[in-house]
Amino acid sequence: MESGTREKARNVLKRILAAASYEIKDLEVPPELDFSAVGNGAPLVVLCSDDPEMIEYFDSMTYHLYTGDEDPVCLKLLFTLNPAVRTEDCIQWGPEEFARYAGEAVLAEVLGESLVLDFDHPVLAAPVQQARPEETAPAVGGEEPEEGPMLPHLPLQVTEKRACGIAGLHGSAKCRFIPYWNYHYTSTGEREVKDRLVSFESEGSGAINAINGLKMEIDPRDIKRIPVPFGSEIVPARLLREDVEEQIIRDVVDRLTQRVRFRYEKGDAIFYEEKTLKPDRNDIKVDLEVVYVPVWQVRGGSKIVEVNGFTGEILSMPMDEGVEFL
């Protein structure tokens, strides 16, 4: 937006807000803002710009206006002529809103009334992904070698008899190996803002159930790369590698995101800026491997109990969606 156009837009916006009984104050700091406006509701900070980088910065910031004993968070009003701009945390006005409120402001002045502005703006919810239906692999049966397939897994340390005793049921038990996405991530990089250096160095690990998405901890030292017991059911993974990796990266970004506050003073007024700093997704590396966890499915009459074949714990939730507790 050219300086002349920006100045004209700024003057009209001031007139609109003044018609809505806002008190207008020009700002020297922060330098990217055009002016602030204080009314009966939350205070406003205003930006007129078509610059995507400036708008992105404005959208990411949190501004506080300190006057007296209060320190309210400011609403952010953006006026832009750039149709490609999309914001998440701003009240965004384009040419249509600008023309509408400018006309209403003039009419309010003529009638000697106060302009009413509605600054509510919706936040779009993320789309819900539908689960992908898959078929469950049949149990291993028939004439097979005495060893099952070679898979990375936690060893089966609980016998069938012991599993039935733990479950408190007299019936049959079936050994199933449930897939987990075992992961290890590393995050690197840093950001410098106004002489402050924020590091995003981090690493971690965990495991995600490849059927229902539940998380657990797996000690890499416990993983064996030997054949599983003959006759065990190998349950196929339902969650795709790409989806799991994306979820892990989102979780890491959320965990490492930091908010940094800056303070500015002008006369008796004190302004606060809050900058949200996030790690670059490209600086987060994730290693994934399917590791299987043994589970005894003990059935006694109409009741089913699942017992972790590695730890001997009774599971409070089914390890996969094909189990119904009665």
In a domain, residue 316? The reply is no
In a domain, residue 324? The reply is no
Task: Return the structure tokens found at 65.
Answer: 């206006």
- Which are the contacts of 72, defined by CB distance < 8 A and separation ≥ 6? 42, 43, 64, 65
Specify whether 102 is located in the same domain as 159: no
- Which are the contacts of 165, defined by CB distance < 8 A and separation ≥ 6? none
In a domain, residue 117? The reply is no
Predicted local confidence at residue 67, as pLDDT: 63
Specify whether 100 is located in the same domain as 154: no
Specify whether 153 is located in the same domain as 105: no
Check which CATH number belongs to the domain holding 51 and give it. 3.40.1350
Predicted local confidence at residue 275, as pLDDT: 84
In a domain, residue 129? The reply is no
Residue type at position 59: D
Domain span at 74: 3-111
Predicted local confidence at residue 3, as pLDDT: 80
Predicted local confidence at residue 282, as pLDDT: 93
Residue 266 forms beta bridges with which residues? 269
Specify whether 99 is located in the same domain as 176: no
Specify whether 12 is located in the same domain as 100: yes
In a domain, residue 126? The reply is no
| pLDDT tens digits for range 23-73 | 998 876 666 788 899 887 788 999 999 988 889 888 888 887 766 667 778
Q: Please name the helix (run of DSSP H) or strand (run of DSSP E) that holds residue 152, with its range, or none.
A: strand 147-153
Specify whether 234 is located in the same domain as 157: yes
**pTM, entire model:** 0.53
CB of 305 within 8 A of CB of 168? yes
What does the CA dihedral 139, 142, 144, 150 come to, rounded to 10 degrees? Answer: 0
Domains identified in the chain, total number: 2
Specify whether 301 is located in the same domain as 172: yes
Among 262, 267, 301, 264, smallest CA distance to 60 is for: 262
Last residue of a domain, one of 111, 140, 174: 111
In a domain, residue 44? The reply is yes
Q: What is the DSSP letter of 205?
A: E
Specify whether 190 is located in the same domain as 107: no
Specify whether 31 is located in the same domain as 154: no
Predicted local confidence at residue 177, as pLDDT: 95
In a domain, residue 320? The reply is no
Specify whether 161 is located in the same domain as 224: yes
Low-confidence ranges of the chain (pLDDT < 50): 121-145, 322-326
In a domain, residue 317? The reply is no
Specify whether 171 is located in the same domain as 236: yes
Rg (C-alpha) for the chain, rounded Å, is: 30
Rounded CA gap, 232 and 297, in Å?
A: 11
Rounded CA gap, 249 and 284, in Å?
A: 7
Specify whether 72 is located in the same domain as 207: no
